[in-house]
Amino acid sequence: MAEIRNINVRKNDIELTLSISREEYKIIQNNTRDLIVLPYNTETLRYSLTTGKLGNSNRIMMPKKVLQLFKIKELDKKIPSTIFTLNSDCFLLSKIKKSTKGIPKFRDD
């Protein structure tokens, strides 16, 4: 995740210096405009959405083709999320899959 290294506040501008990972840099590519900087932590993602079949108004649905494109086999059941409003546009930020790298899984046979 990105970290803010320096904040320079001027009259009408706020200038940020960021430290980002190579993976984040690949996502940005050569885009220098229309970027969003959002906090990502448990305080920010304080609303819980349920993934799964239709039926409840608080469910988030993802097309199978999109999940397959990103090699996501299944979504977590309860996902942390929030909505940000910027310039009258609304953005949904959700953590749809928790990383399990390095966490051993034990099963009963």
Residue 44 token pair: 């920010």
pLDDT digits (tens, 9 = 90+) for 75-87: 888 888 888 888 8
| 75 touches 96 (CB < 8 A) | yes
What type of residue sits at position 27? I
| 50 touches 78 (CB < 8 A) | yes
CB-count burial class (<10 Å; 0-12, 13-18, 19+) for 4 = exposed
pLDDT digits (tens, 9 = 90+) for 32-62: 888 888 888 888 888 888 776 555 566 777 7
How many Å apart are CA 105 and CA 48, to the nearest integer?
25
Tell me the pTM: 0.63
What type of residue sits at position 64? K
